[in-house]
Amino acid sequence: MIITLTPNPSLDRALEVDRLQVGEVNRAHGGHLHPGGKGINVSRVLVRHGVPTLAVLPTGGADGARLVEMLAEIDVPTLAVPLVDHTRSNLTLVEGTGVTTKVNAPGPKLTPGEVDALLSALETQLAAQPGALVCAGSLPLGAPETFFVQVAGLAARYGVPFILDTSGPPLTRAVRQGGLTLVKPNDEELAELVGRELSTVGDVVGAAREVIAAGTRAVLVSLGAHGAMLVLAEGVWWAGGPPLVPLSTVGAGDSTLAGFLTADGSPGDRLRTAVAFGRAAVLLPGTAVPDPTDIDLDAVRVVESPDPRLALKEL
């Protein structure tokens, strides 16, 4: 069982346009409505691939109720913690070229009591000793920057591996505290975390090793079209494949993380699976998640200890 926590979920509305013209009337020729939120996306992928999961999330209002209904329709088990304020809706505009523009709403403002209720609900699940806890996405208004530090403490109390996919000050606070099993930043988030530009493989590896030195077991770095890198104290692996023409990049990083969690074997094998899941996701519309038949492991190449002098764009 893998528990996911999405502190600030949403209903994701995606509209397809030929070309987005800013300041003009744009007419969509298609649209999709999906449950949104990074942790929810991870649970959706896990369900598609037969991995037991439970999505923990705060919900409120009509959109919150609809979100829970939609997750039930696709067989994603949920534990919804009620809010007074309303669950947010996000909008994604997808152009025919694959360029994606997202507009994310701020979401509800949680009261201190609602934050405590969310942590209490999560602790009840952790006490049952799940295989892992994945916390992913932004924090809602009202949640402190130390929220993920508190969650990490709960996971440690029950001996549950803790995977974190977030950004900004909440990521910095959690990494500095240490005790994380894995973090999954993209290259821009990792650069922000260490406070410098990352242009080469060596830059990324050096930054990831700083995170490991602070007390995190592993760093899985999404590099967008250039694949992904896995950094452990004992080694470095890169994986990628031939160029793709994406339909939508929304949720691809979440599929990458889910793929890593579903895989067994060596670090290189797990990274290969992660990248294959991410590549499959970008070929699907909106925030649709890949089925087992979409995964092409043979298209992914894995390199152990890649040349640190290589620019990321050369991967």
List active site positions: 254
| Structure tokens belonging to residue 37 | 């939120």
| Structure tokens belonging to residue 298 | 């043979």
Cα separation, 269 vs 281, whole angstroms: 19
Residue with structure tokens 């694949």?
Answer: 227
H-run or E-run covering 207? helix 201-213
Do 115 and 146 touch, CB atoms closer than 8 A?
no
Distances (CA, A) of 224 to 2, 230, 274, 275: 25, 14, 13, 10
Do 212 and 219 touch, CB atoms closer than 8 A?
yes
Q: What is the DSSP string of 78-139?
A: EEEEE-SSPPEEEEEEEETTS-EEEE----PBPPHHHHHHHHHHHHHHHTT--SEEEEESPP
- Tell which residue, 205, 212, 259, has the closest CA to residue 237: 205
| Structure tokens belonging to residue 93 | 């505009």
